[in-house]
Amino acid sequence: MLSKRLYDWIDLRIGAREIVKKELTGYLLPKKINEWYSLGSVLMVIFGLQIATGMLLMVYYVPDPEKAFKSITFIMNEVPYGWLIRLCHAVGSNMMVAVLLLHMFSVLMMGSYKSPRELNWLTGFILFCLIQGISLTGYLAPWSQLSFWATTVATNSAAAIPVIGPYLVEFMRGGKLVGPPTLGRFFALHVAVLPAVIAALVGAHLFLLKRTGISTPPSGVQQSRNPWPVESYRYESHPGGIPFFPNYALQDLTSISVYFAVFLAVVFFAPNFLFTPDAFVPANPFQTPAHIKPEWYFLANYQTLKIFPSELLGLSVQVAAMTLLALLPFLDRSPERNPLKRPLFLVCSIGGILIWIGLTIWGHYS
């Protein structure tokens, strides 16, 4: 058969069979692995799709305040399937943040961040911040009233930082107010700097995942306490576990299909779900629309700044919360990973999530 001969030809040159055995068919996962573990693969697919649609958008998009809005209108109304490419990119960016939050939630609940996976958590946390950054910088690109004023509100938050705050805001914007220099630097960050940094960090995240092995889910299987001697390197193998390919690859594929069902449902049936009427008006730096808000995932931060009597206090609370989250695996050192056996953790994490949701809703309606 031609395909077998071709495979033999490649195998002889690059050792394909060995790679497949080591990385796919012989890569064993814990028997009771669940669907939550596939969210990382879903995120990789979303990231890939964002890159592909972003490259396509750059064919027609012009990063110039005079032309940006017109070029987006042109893409949406004139270019064949331009609306599809653009909506996939816009909806995809929001979905990426949402799925990333779910991924972090599952890692939190299953205690997968614990020793020796502190760096997996840390790289993931930095990726979370960078994804928010790439979404923020991309939000300005259409140069609509919504993007212009949401960026004004979002960048203005940094002014609460003592001493350097006002300068930092000016530095981010490239001027005192959001304007043409802001679009230039946000565009460079959005299409060049941040994608490269994110890709590199995804590589580091995967390297760490490969090196330590997949963590065993805390529930479902008779759990033996994992006496991990972190002084020396040990790969967490799963003898008798299920192979990544084809078994778990099928779960990945299932999760990706479910994701696409939800994603395409929004793209085709509720495309304006994310856009307020201000998204269809070109930016006017002299006319602030009423009730302008940042993107949904910044609403909690936005509301926190508003409820504290001083912005500095509001900012300090956020910095403290983010630092706590980033350093969680270094603070929470108990080996127990079952959430039902960690009442304090469960109360704090569920409480934190509820506060975040509450602040987001409050921010939306305030």
Query: Which residues form the interface with other proteins (CB under 8 A)?
Result: 56, 59, 79-82, 84-85
CA 92 to chain centre: 10
Q: What is the dihedral of CA 131, 133, 134, 139, to 10 degrees?
A: 120
Write the CA distances from 187 to 50, 62, 73, 96, integer angstroms: 15, 10, 18, 19
Q: Which is nearer to other proteins, 84 or 197 (CB)?
A: 84
Smallest separation (angstroms) from other proteins to the CB of 81:
4
- Give the E-state strand segments of the chain in sequence order: 28-29, 242-243
Smallest separation (angstroms) from other proteins to the CB of 89:
12
Q: Which is nearer to other proteins, 92 or 329 (CB)?
A: 92
Burial bucket for residue 365 (CB in 10 Å: 0-12, 13-18, 19+): exposed
Place of tokens 């309606």: 365
Q: Which is nearer to other proteins, 80 or 240 (CB)?
A: 80
Smallest separation (angstroms) from other proteins to the CB of 271:
15
Smallest separation (angstroms) from other proteins to the CB of 84:
5
Q: Which is nearer to other proteins, 212 or 255 (CB)?
A: 255
Q: Which is nearer to other proteins, 56 or 198 (CB)?
A: 56
CA 14 to chain centre: 34
Smallest separation (angstroms) from other proteins to the CB of 19:
22
Smallest separation (angstroms) from other proteins to the CB of 253:
10
Q: Which of 181, 152, 156 is nearest to 289 (CA)?
A: 152
| Ramachandran class of 171: left when φ > 0, alpha when ψ lies in -120 to 50, beta otherwise | alpha
SS3 240: coil
Distance CA 44, CA 261 (A): 17
Q: Which is nearer to other proteins, 82 or 116 (CB)?
A: 82
